[in-house]
Amino acid sequence: MSLHVKRANRWRTEYNPLRGLAMGRVATMLMDGEQGRYAAIQWLYRFVEKRDATVRALKRRRLSAIGKLDWDIKILDEDDWPAGATQAMADRQQDALFAAFNSIGNLRKSFVELAKAEFRGYSHLEKHREDDQPDGRVVHLEPVPQWHWVRQGLNGDWRYDADARGVIARGVEIDRADFVIREIEDPIDEIATICFLRKGLSQKDWDAFVETYGVPPLFVVMPDGVPDGKEDEYQEMAESVVADGRGAVPHGTAFESPGEGIRGVAPFEKHLNYQDSQIVLAGTSGKLTMLNDATGIGGSQSDVHEDTFDELAEAEAMEISELLQEQHGDGILDAMFPGQPHLAYFELAPVDQEDVTAVVGHARNLKQAGYHIKTDELSRRTGYELEERAPSQAAPIEDPDQPGTLRNRRGGAGDPVHDLAERRMQRLLANSAEAEARAHALDLEPIAARLQAALDEDDMEKAVGIVNRLREDWPSVLGAMLRDSQAAETIENAMVAALFDGAARGAVQRGEAA
C-alpha cells in the first residue's frame, strides 16, 4: 500500500488548493467531508498546517507532548479480577502483550500519527505483519494519508480510495482487523481552516491599506497671485516635485500633510489576533487564549503552558491507550489465551512516579549481578537527571610512627583507640566489598556487553544470533574471565590488607613494637 500511495499521490502534488480559495469553496469542501468525500478537505488541511504559523506551532507542541510519554503493559488491580483469574494468567498475558507491542518497529511514531487525528478528524494505521503472513505478528503500523479515504455518509464503513479523488463508489472495502483507526468528531483543522481564510482576506486588506496610507499623502498650497492661465503649469510643477521628492516651486508655495487621525484606526491587526486566538482556543480546549501575548510562549507563563500541553497529552493518551488495546491488544489475548478474561492491558502515559522506586531497585539488582543500565535509559524511566558518581576512595591508613596512633596506645572496648581500630576495620570491609563488586562487574563486562547488544537490537533474528554466538563462545569467554579475574585479585588484596590490620591490632593489644 505504501508504494501504491506514493504513485497515486503524484497527480495531487500538482494541485495547490490555496489558489483561488474562497469561503464558498471551503464551505463546499467541509460539506463534502460530512458526506464522506474527504480528499479535497484533507489536502487543504495539509496546506493550512504548513502555511499557518499558529496552527503549525500548536501542532508541534501537542505532538511533542505526546512524544514524551512512555508505554507499558499493566495488570489490572487484583480487586477487579473476575472469578477464576490467577496471577500466573496475568503474568503470561502481560508478557505476551509486551512482546507483541515491542515487536512493532515504529510504535512511538504511531502514537504521533494517532494524535494527528485531533487536527484532521481521523487517522488510519495499516498493520504490516511479519513475512506478510495473515497470522504473522504485527511488526509495523503504516500511516495511510487521510485524503485516500471515503465513506458512505457520516458513519459509513471506511473505504480506501486509491486515486484520492473523493469518489465514494470507487472506494474499496477494508478489513477493520487490519487497521488501527482513530476518529475525532470535531477536529481542530475545521476551525483553523476558516480562521486561516479570514486571516488571508484581512491580511490582503491590510496590505492594501499600508500601500495606500503607509506613506503619508502630501498636498501643495499654491501661493497667492498666480497669474491667470498659469494654474495648470503651477500644478504640474508641484506634482512633479511631490512625486520625485525634489525640485523647485514658486515662492510662497506651502506643503501640508494630514495627521494620523485623519486616516482612522486600522482594525486589521486586532482581527488577525482574534483569528489566532480562536485557533489556540480550539487547540487547547480553552486553556491558552492568550498564547501570542507577552505572557505566552517565551514569557513568564511558559511553565504554565508546558503543564497545559502535558495535561492535554495525558488525556489524549488515555484515549489512544484504550484504542490500541481494543483494536490490537484484545485480539492478541483472544488468540493466545482463548476463554481467559483479559487481565493485562496496554497503557500510554507519563512515567509512573510510584514505580520509580521499583526501577531503581531493578537497576541496583542488575548492577550487583554485573550488568549496567545505560544512564540515558535510567533517566528516561525515572524522570531524573542522572550522572555517574566517582567511586569512593578508601580511608587513608594511619602512619604507625606518629604519636597517638595504634602502635603507641593500648586499650579495650570503649577505649578511643580501640574504637578507632574497629571503625577502620569496618571501613576496610566496606571498601573491600565495594571494590569486589566493581571487579565482578569488570569480569562480567564482556558477557554484559553482548547481552546488552542483543537487547538493543531491533531485529529479533539478529538479537537471537548474538545470543547464540555467546552460547558457542561460552567456554573461551569463561576461561578468559577466570584467567584474568579482577575479582580474584581484589579479594587477595583485601585479605592481605585485613591480615596486616589484624597484626597491627594484635601488636597494640600486646603493647609490642611494630
The pLDDT tens digits of the residues spanning 160-190 come to 998 888 899 889 999 999 999 999 999 999 9
User: Residue 427 carries which side chain, given as an amino acid letter?
Assistant: R
Q: How far is CA 198 from CA 141, 191, 279, 444, in A?
A: 37, 11, 12, 67
Q: What is the pTM of this model?
A: 0.58
Give the domain range for residue 463: 401-510
Let me know: does 188 contact 52? Beta carbons within 8 Å. Answer: no
Q: How many domains does the chain contain in total?
A: 2
323 shares its domain with 176: yes
Let me know: does 153 contact 35? Beta carbons within 8 Å. Answer: yes
Residue 120 lies in a domain: yes
316 shares its domain with 413: no
Question: Quick one: DSSP state of residue 327?
Answer: I
31 shares its domain with 163: yes
Span 242-263, pLDDT tens digits: 776 677 777 777 777 666 555 5
49 shares its domain with 169: yes
How far is 190 from 400, CA to CA, in rounded Å?
85
Strands (E) in 283-396, as ranges, are: 344-349
Q: Which of 263, 296, 327 is the last residue of a domain?
A: 327
Span 48-96, pLDDT tens digits: 999 999 999 999 999 998 988 999 999 999 999 999 899 999 999 999 9
Residue 239 lies in a domain: no
321 shares its domain with 409: no
How far is 128 from 120, CA to CA, in rounded Å?
23
Residue 63 lies in a domain: yes
Report the alpha-carbon angle 417-422-426, nearest 5: 145
- In this predicted structure, the answer to whether residue 500 has a pLDDT above a threshold of 80 is no
Residue 371 lies in a domain: no
How far is 454 from 448, CA to CA, in rounded Å?
10
6 shares its domain with 122: yes
Q: Which of 292, 327, 362 is the last residue of a domain?
A: 327
- In this predicted structure, the answer to whether residue 5 has a pLDDT above a threshold of 80 is no
Q: Which long-range contacts (CB under 8 A, 24 or more apart) does 310-315 make?
A: 310/65, 310/68, 310/350, 311/287, 312/62, 312/65, 312/284, 312/285, 312/287, 313/62, 313/65, 313/66, 313/68, 313/69, 314/69, 314/349, 314/350
Residue 52 lies in a domain: yes
Hey, what's the cell of 69? 510519554
40 shares its domain with 170: yes
| Helix (H/G/I), strand (E/B), else coil: 294 | coil
Hey, what's the cell of 267? 482594525
Confidence of residue 447 (pLDDT cuts 50, 70, 90): confident
Q: For the residues 344-356, what does the mean pLDDT come to?
A: 75
How far is 131 from 140, CA to CA, in rounded Å?
11
Largest CA distance in the chain: 138
pLDDT value of position 426 = 64
458 shares its domain with 319: no
319 shares its domain with 432: no
pLDDT value of position 248 = 77
Average pLDDT, the chain: 77
- In this predicted structure, the answer to whether residue 445 has a pLDDT above a threshold of 80 is no
Select the more confidently predicted residue: 472 or 168. 168
How far is 52 from 196, CA to CA, in rounded Å?
7
pLDDT value of position 140 = 95
166 shares its domain with 20: yes
Select the more confidently predicted residue: 316 or 409. 316
50 shares its domain with 144: yes
Residue 363 lies in a domain: no
CA 63 from centroid of its chain's CA atoms? 7
Confidence of residue 373 (pLDDT cuts 50, 70, 90): confident
Hey, what's the cell of 496? 592481605
Let me know: does 162 contact 8? Beta carbons within 8 Å. Answer: yes
Hey, what's the cell of 230? 498659469
Q: For the residues 130-139, what does the mean pLDDT come to?
A: 88
Confidence of residue 118 (pLDDT cuts 50, 70, 90): very high
Q: Which of 294, 327, 360 is the last residue of a domain?
A: 327
Residue 201 lies in a domain: no
322 shares its domain with 460: no
